[in-house]
C-alpha cells in the first residue's frame, strides 16, 4: 500500500521544454489535486479533479494542463516550462473535496 506516489522526484528543465509529472494513488480516492509550494507562499492549488472524468482550475492554473487518466492517476503537464515554474509540486488525494488529504512526497522541479 504505497499511498500517493509521484514521479519524478527531481527534474531539471530548460526554458521552453515540456514535461509531465505523474501521480498515482492506491487508496481509492475520488478526488485528486496538484499543489505547488514556494518559499513563503504556502501551498497553492493548481488543478484538481473532484471525481474521475472531471478537472477544475485552482488558484494558479496558468501554464499547466492536467489529465485524470483514470481513478488512480492524475498527471500534470508543463507544455513550455518557464523559470517561474521552478517549485516543489505535490500531488494529493482524498475522498471528498473538503476532507482529509493524503500527500505524495513531492517533485522538485527546476527550470533554467
43 counts as binding another protein under rule CB under 8 A: yes
Site for another protein in 60-99 (CB under 8 A): 90, 92, 97-99
Distances (CA, A) of 13 to 36, 50, 52, 67, 87: 17, 30, 30, 21, 12
Binding segment toward another protein, per CB under 8 A, in 14-22, 33-41, 68-76, 77-85: 33-41
Residue 55 sits at φ, ψ, to 5 deg, of -140, 150
Residue with cell 526554458: 15
Chain-centroid distance, C-alpha 104: 9
Peptide bond before residue 8 is cis, with ω within 30 degrees of 0? yes
Nearer to another protein, 35 or 64 (CB): 35
Binding segment toward another protein, per CB under 8 A, in 11-19, 65-73, 77-85, 102-110: 102-110
The number of beta carbons lying within 10 Å of the beta carbon of residue 83 is 11
CB of 57 to another protein, least distance (A): 11
26 counts as binding another protein under rule CB under 8 A: no
Residues that bind another protein (CB under 8 A): 4, 31, 33, 35, 40-45, 48, 50, 58-59, 90, 92, 97-106
Amino acid at each position: 500500500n504505497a499511498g500517493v506516489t509521484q514521479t519524478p522526484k527531481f527534474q531539471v528543465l530548460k526554458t521552453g521544454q515540456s514535461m509531465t509529472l505523474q501521480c498515482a494513488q492506491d487508496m481509492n480516492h475520488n478526488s485528486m489535486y496538484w499543489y505547488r509550494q514556494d518559499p513563503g507562499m504556502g501551498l497553492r492549488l493548481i488543478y484538481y479533479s473532484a471525481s474521475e472524468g472531471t478537472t477544475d482550475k485552482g488558484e494558479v492554473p496558468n501554464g499547466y494542463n492536467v489529465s485524470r487518466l483514470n481513478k488512480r492517476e492524475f498527471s500534470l503537464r508543463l507544455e513550455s516550462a518557464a523559470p517561474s515554474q521552478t517549485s516543489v509540486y505535490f500531488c494529493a488525494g482524498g475522498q471528498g473535496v473538503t476532507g482529509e488529504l493524503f500527500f505524495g512526497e513531492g517533485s522538485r522541479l527546476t527550470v533554467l
